[in-house]
Structure 1
Amino acid sequence: MSSPSSQASAAVPDGASPEQYAALPNGLELCYQTFGDRTGEPLLLVMGLGGPMTWWSPAFCRALADRGFFVIRYDNRDTGRSSRAPGRVTRRLLVQSFVGPSRTRPRPPYTLDDLAEDGFGLLDHLGLESAHVVGISMGGMIVQTMALLRPDRVRSLTSIMSTTGRRTVGWQDPRLLPRLLERPAVTRKAYVDGSARFWAVIGSSVYPDTEQAVRDRAAETWDRGVSAAGVARQMIAIVSQPDRTARLREITVPTLVIHGLADKMVHVSGGRATSRAIPGSELLLVPGMGHDLPEQLHDTFADAIRRVADRASR
C-alpha cells in the first residue's frame, strides 16, 4: 500500500488542527483533521465516493464544533492524502459487478466492512472508545456498517443521502451512468471542467453553489491527490455491498436520516428505506436538495445532528 506522492502542506482553516496522519494496523495511513475542543463529544465525518475530507466544508465543521462536538474529518483510503490500496479494477469488472448475478461478481479489493474498520482504526489512533458518526452517500453506507459491526462504539448515527444496499431503492438516474464511466481526466483543467459539469447535474438547483465555488473545490480536490484507480476500487465496493435492510433493524442507537427530494445520484427511496429499516429513526427530507450539502442548510443539519446526539446522551 502506498500514500499519494504529493504531500504538500495545506492552508489550515480557521478553528482546525493541522492535517495529521494515523497509521493503522492494516498498513494504511489516513490523513485527518479536527475542529473544536478535544473535551467535546467526538463526531466522525465520513465522506462519499472519491471525496476528500475537504468536501466537509470548514464552515459546516465549525458549526458542529460550536454545538459541542469534537469534529474529526478524514480522507478515506484511496482518497486525498490517505494511502492508496492495492488491486486493479477494470471498467469491464465494474460493469460486471453492477449488472451480473451475485454468484459471478468479482471479489472487490476491499469492502464497506474494511472501510468501516478504517474509521474505527482512526478512533483507536485518537484514543476514542466511541463517537457519533455522520456519513454522506458512500460514507452513509460506511457509518451504517460501523453501527452494525461494533454498535458499542457508535453513540449516534446520521446517514445522509445514502441507501441500504438494496438494488430496488436508492438508484441512480440512469443518465448519470455514462458520466460515471467516463475516462478519467489526466490534467487539472480537465478535472475541474468535468467536475463543474457533473455537479451542475447532481447538485441542488434550489440551493446552487456558484460555478466558481464548484471549480475551486474541484481544483483543491485535484491538488490533494485524485486517484482514478482508487475511485474504481471504491465504486466496486459500493456495487458489491450486501443488502443491509434486515440487519439495519438491529440498530438501536439514535439515528437521523437526511435526504434531498431532488437527489439524482441516490434516489430518495434509499433514504426512506434506511429510515424505515432502523427503529425509531428520524427522517429529514429536504425539498429541492440534490446530492450535496448546501451552505444554506448547514445550521439545519447541524441542529438535527445535535438533536440526535442529545437523544444518545439521554
Structure 2
Amino acid sequence: MSAARTITVPHLGSSHVGYALSEPFDESLPTLVMVNSFTTSVDLYRPQFDDEELGRTANLLAIEPYGHGSTRAGYADYTYWDTAVAALQVLDALGIERAFALGTSQGGWIAVRMALLAPDVVQGVVPLGTSMDFESPRSRELGCWDGIAFLSPAIDALAEPVGDGWVIPTDLVDAVLAEGFGEVDDETRAFWHATHQQNYTGDAGRRRLRTSSINLRDRDGLHGRLDEVRCPVLWLHGTADPVYSVANAQDEIGRFTRSPQADLQVVEGGRHFLSASHPEVVDRAVVEFIGRWA
C-alpha cells in the first residue's frame, strides 16, 4: 500500500482526509473503499493491499474517518454521517464515479450511510463485524457488548484538557486490541501502540479521541433506514467476535428488504477485526462479490 496521505474536501469547513490508494490506479477496474474501525488507521487494511488477486479485481482506497489517523476537520465536532459525506467527497475529488464500500465495525455503518446518502455512487456494501443498531438493550440481549460501560470511563477520563506531551494511554490501546484482534504478538502490539500514540497526542489528540468515543457510544441506529438501501449487501461476521454477535447480524441482514441481494457469511473463528484475523476469507468473498455486481 502507498503511504497514508491527505486530500482536501469541502465538508465541515474544509477537511483534510487521510487515505491510502493502491497504485497504479486502473480506470478499467471498479474501486473498493475501505473504512477502518475505532481508533485504528488505514493500516488496518494492510493485508488487503498486499493481496494480489484483490488488487487485480479492484482499485483499493482506504479512508480514515473523522477523529482517526490523518483526517482533520475544519469544525470542532462531527458524527458518522459526516465521515460518510467526506468519503463520498474524496471519491469525487479523485474522479471516481462509483465504488463498493467495505467497513469494519464503525466502518460498516459508515459504509451503509454512504449507500443511503449516495445510492447512485455506492455499488455494493460489505460490512465486517458490525451492527446497524445503536448501543441498545436489544443488541445486548442478542449477545453484543455493553459499549456504554466500555466507553463511558474513557470518555469521563478524557474530559479535561491536557498538555502537549500527552499521548493515548497504552492500556486503552490494549483494550481496543483485545476486542478487535484477540491475542496479538509483540510486534503487532508495538506497531499499534506506536500508531495510536502518533495519531493521538496533545490536547487536540485527546479531543479527537474523546469525540470518537462519544460517537461510538452515542450514535444513532439505522434500523429505520435499512429498507432504503438499494445496493447488494455482503455481511461477513466472525464467530469469535466479542463486540457484535452473529445473532445480531442474522437479525439485521434481514432488514435490508429492498436490496437486490443481502447475504450473511459467518466466518468460523473470525474476530471483530475480521479483515485482519481472516484476510484470505474476506478477500476471496469480496473478489467474488465485486465480480458479480460490478
Q: What band does the TM-score fall into relative to the shorter chain?
A: 0.7 to 0.9
Provide TM-score, normalisation by structure 2: 0.81
Matches within 5 A, 1:35-54: 35-39=22-26, 40-54=29-43
Q: 1:59 aligns with which of 47, 56, 60?
A: 47
Match of 2:104 in 1: 136
Of 122, 142, 145, 1:172 maps to 145
Q: In structure 2, how many angstroms separate the alpha carbons of the residues matched to 1:47 and 1:125? A: 20
Partner Cα distance (1:235, 1:214) in 2: 21
Give the conservation status (yes or no) of the 8 Å contact 2:37–2:104. yes
User: In the aligned structure 2, how far is the partner of 1:34 from the partner of 1:74?
Assistant: 9
The answer to whether the 8 Å contact 2:6/2:18 transfers is yes
1:117 aligns with 2:105: no
Distance 1:84 1:148, change over 3 A: closer
Corresponding residue number in structure 1 for 2:157: 183
Aligned to 1:101: none
Partners of 2:286 and 2:133 lie apart in 1 by: 23
Kept after mapping to 2: 8 A contact 1:77/1:85: no
For 1:260, which of 223, 228, 238 is the aligned residue? Answer: 238
Structure 1 unaligned regions, length at least 5: 1-15, 88-108
Q: Report what 1:303 is aligned to.
A: 284
Matched, 1:21 2:6: yes
Aligned match of 1:282: 263
- For residue 7 of structure 2, give the secondary structure of its aligned residue in structure 1: strand
Change (3 A) 1:220 1:139: same
Aligned to 1:32, what secondary structure does the other structure show? Answer: strand
Alpha-carbon shift at residue 308 of structure 1 (Å): 1.6
- Given that 2:4 and 2:42 are in contact with CA atoms closer than 8 Å, whether structure 1 keeps it comes out as no
Letter in 2 for 1:21: T
SS of match in other structure, 1:132: strand
For structure 2, which runs of at least 5 residues remain unmatched after alignment? none
Cα distance, 1:197–1:110 mapped onto 2, change above 3 Å: closer
Return the letter of the residue paired with 2:157.
Answer: R
Report the CA distance shift for 1:295/1:110 in structure 2 as closer, same or farther (over 3 A). closer
2:20 to 33, 36, 41: 33
Q: 1:252 to 1:230 in 2, by over 3 A?
A: same
Is the CA contact 1:254–1:309 (under 8 Å) kept in the aligned structure 2?
Answer: no
Q: 1:203 to 1:149 in 2, by over 3 A?
A: closer
Q: Distance in 1 between matches of 2:240 and 2:289?
A: 24
Q: Distance in 2 between matches of 1:145 and 1:42?
A: 18
Q: In structure 2, give the amino acid aligned to 1:157.
A: V
How much identity, in percent, do the aligned residues show? 19
Q: CA deviation at 1:211?
A: 3.2
Contact 1:161 1:270 in 2 (8 A): no
- Count of matched residue pairs: 272
What are the Cα deviations for residues 139-165 of structure 1, in whole angstroms up to 9, with x where unaligned? 111111111111110011001111112
Counterpart of 2:192 in structure 1 is: 217
Q: 1:226-265, aligned counterparts within 5 Å?
A: 226=201, 227-265=205-243
Distance 1:179 1:55 in 2: 25
Alignment RMSD, CA only?
A: 2.6
Give 1:296 shift.
5.4
**Which amino acid is the alignment partner of residue 31 of structure 1?**
G
Given that 2:39 and 2:68 are in contact with CA atoms closer than 8 Å, whether structure 1 keeps it comes out as: yes
Whole-angstrom CA distance in 1 between matches of 2:231 and 2:127: 12
1:37·1:65 contact (CA, 8 Å) conserved in 2? no
Q: By how many angstroms is 1:260 displaced?
A: 1.9
Cα gap change, 1:194 to 1:145, in 2 (>3 Å): closer
Q: Could you give the per-residue CA deviations for residues 210-261 of structure 1, whole angstroms, max 9, x where no partner exists? A: 1331222221232244523113223333444333223212222121111222
Q: Please report the TM-score for the alignment, with normalisation by the length of structure 1.
A: 0.76
Displacement of 1:131:
0.6
* Distance across 2 between alignment mates of 1:115 and 1:255: 20
Query: Is 2:267 aligned against 1:292?
Result: no
User: Distance in 2 between the 1:220 and 1:112 partners?
Assistant: 22
Matches within 5 A, 1:54-93: 54-56=43-45, 58-63=46-51, 65-84=54-73, 86-87=75-76
